[in-house]
Structures are given as structure tokens and as C-alpha cells.
Amino acid sequence: MSKAITVNGRALAVDADSETPLLWVLRDHLGLTGTKYGCGIGQCGACTVHLDGAPVRSCQIPLGAVDAPVTTIEALSFDGSHPLQLAWVSLNVPQCGYCQTGFLMAADALLKAIPNPSDADIDAALTNICRCGTYDRIRAGVHRAAAGREA
């Protein structure tokens, strides 16, 4: 099956079964490997992308259900200059880093919805799992990025 989708602003035709999870379409068919496979059951959030601007777990979205633009970590910024990326680097947020692309995508959606989130807002919106336990640094990174956006 060929399906027309828009990924990172580009209209694409993907030749894959309609039941193929978006995660595998992104990684295997389009070569966008920034989106990570974690648990495969929508719990960990490593595969978080934006679907029409909302954070979704791409391992749970079949290709056939994709009817809005998809944004992946590769389009957060092409040169690493996004406020969240800068905050992540300056605070040394990741430990192993595997889950961080999902956290960045969830945090970006949060900051678009709530430009100056509280700790409670961050905790409610970022339900991703970090096996290394860097939650305090993640929260600090979101606050630093929010402050940078207000400057």
C-alpha cells in the first residue's frame, strides 16, 4: 500500500502496510532514526513524535491512521539551536540519552501549550520513562528553555 503522509514539512509517499506502526515507517522506510524504539506498548515514550502538533507514541499509531502532519526530533531544529536542546546541553540532562528524543518532543509540545509551566505541569505532561532517573535535570531543562523563550 502506498500512503501519502507529511513528515517534517515534506509530503512523502510511503509504501508500507497500513498496520505498520508509524515508528517503523519513520525509522525503516524513511531513515529517520532519531525516534527511538523503547517498549513497543506505548508506555515509555521513547518514540514520541508530534502528530498535528500533539505528542503521540508512534509505536501505537498505525500508518493507516496517520492523517495529519508528523514532526520528528530531526525537525525540532536542524542545527541544535532549539531552546530545549540548548538547555539539555547546558544542564547535561541526559545520562545514557536513549529516552531523551521522546522527552524533548513531549517537552516541546508542553511549552507550546503552556509557555511557563510549573513543576506539576511538567510532571503531568512528560509521562515518559527515563531508566537513568534524570527527571530533576529534565524538569530543570524545561524551565530553562521556558525562561529562554521569554527573554
Tell me the domain boundaries of the chain: 2-75, 83-150
Q: What local confidence, expressed as pLDDT, does residue 150 receive?
A: 43
Residues 17-61: pLDDT tens digits?
A: 999 999 999 999 999 999 999 999 999 999 999 999 999 999 999
Q: What is the CATH number that goes with domain 83-150? A: 1.10.150.120
Q: What is the CATH number that goes with domain 2-75? A: 3.10.20.30
What is the Cα–Cα distance from 36 to 112, expressed in whole angstroms? Answer: 22
Q: Per-residue pLDDT for 94 more than 80?
A: yes
What is the Cα–Cα distance from 111 to 79, expressed in whole angstroms? Answer: 20
Task: Compute the residue count for the chain.
Answer: 151
Q: What local confidence, expressed as pLDDT, does residue 1 receive?
A: 78
pTM value is 0.94
CA angle 141, 82, 80 (to 5 degrees): 105
| Portion of the chain with pLDDT greater than 90, in percent | 93
Average pLDDT, the chain: 95
pLDDT band, very low/low/confident/very high, at 97 (cuts 50, 70, 90): confident
Q: What is the mean pLDDT of residues 58-65?
A: 98
Q: Per-residue pLDDT for 149 more than 90?
A: no
Task: Determine the angle formed by the axes of helices 83-90 and 135-150, rounding to 10 degrees.
Answer: 130
Residues 131-146: pLDDT tens digits?
A: 999 999 999 999 999 9
Q: What local confidence, expressed as pLDDT, does residue 127 receive?
A: 96
